[in-house]
Amino acid sequence: MPYVNVGQENSGSIDLYYEDHGNGKPVVLIHGWPLSGRSWEKQIPALLDAGHRVITYDRRGFGDSSKPTFGYDYDTFVEDLRHLLIKLNLNEVTLVGFSMGGGEVARYLGKYGSNLVKKAVFVAAIPPFLLNTPDNPSGVDGSVFDGIKAGIAADRLAFLTGFFSNFYNTDVLGGTRISEEAVRLSWNIAAGASPKGTIDCVSAWLTDFRKDLAGIDIPVLVIHGDSDRILPVGATGKRIHELVSGSRLAIIEGGPHGLNWTHAEKVNQELLGFLEQK
């Protein structure tokens, strides 16, 4: 399996698993928490059929990547992403970030600029800033995130069951737009993640991406479901659109957080249309 080395912990190397398929203009798909590159199952065939080179990778601590006990912050995550882009000699790439992966897109552009990046897509993404502060009164109180960490620490596997119910809105969409087996697949992937990485990432969710977004100088598409219970569109997708000059906002009616599975056709239509634009 292909890996890129991004560091060392004691006697072991820290390696990220990636997949690199197809030819054409490169698209890098960055997964959400607590999943892996496998979560793009509904997008990869459509992108390949449209003539794109498609790269997925597993964030440190998740999927088939190494599971170190440190580095679960966005500055480290984008250093990892930078290693991958350089190893594969990618340029004029489109970065597509889902949920937590949207933070990598924002912070990468804020830290490294757009010299290698042609376009960016935020799908059900976490920016711009979730935490309630004096200058962000619409944010969420910090105690909520403390409760999430406590729930993960008490019984991570039980926590994941409840999380994915709201991730896919299974009470509404189960059996129609998503099967029990597909939800189980997400649970299985998440269960195999690093327990420490799973809980440490919650702190990373509180990163402030507002300055990163304001400086973006490339075309941006924002895709978000209007029924997202994990990251409601009013606090995330709409605000990304407001902060990124010239961006396009595509709201998917009835879309839950995991809309890249439940509403894959609409997501793919928006994504491919954006990629085709000059």
Structure tokens at 188: 């299985």
Residue 257, classed as helix, strand or coil, is: coil
* E strand or H helix that includes residue 179: none
User: Is position 99 annotated as part of the catalytic site?
Assistant: yes
Question: Phi then psi for 78, rounded to 5 degrees?
Answer: -75, -25
User: Is position 141 annotated as part of the catalytic site?
Assistant: no
Q: Look at residues 156, 164, 153, 154 and name the one whose alpha carbon lies nearest to residue 187.
A: 164
Contact 237, 224 (CB under 8 A): yes
| Given the residues 31, 52, 241, 257, the one annotated as active site | 257
| Given the residues 64, 80, 200, 228, the one annotated as active site | 228
Task: List, in order, residues 6 or more apart from 268 with CB less than 8 Å away.
Answer: 42, 43, 46
| Given the residues 36, 99, 194, 247, the one annotated as active site | 99
Contact 200, 100 (CB under 8 A): no
User: Is position 224 annotated as part of the catalytic site?
Assistant: no
**Measured distance CA(264)–CA(255) in Å, rounded:** 10
Residue pointed to by tokens 């509404």: 172
Q: What Cα–Cα distance (Å) separates residue 190 from each residue in 34, 146, 151, 267? A: 5, 20, 15, 23
Q: Please list the active-site residues.
A: 99, 228, 257
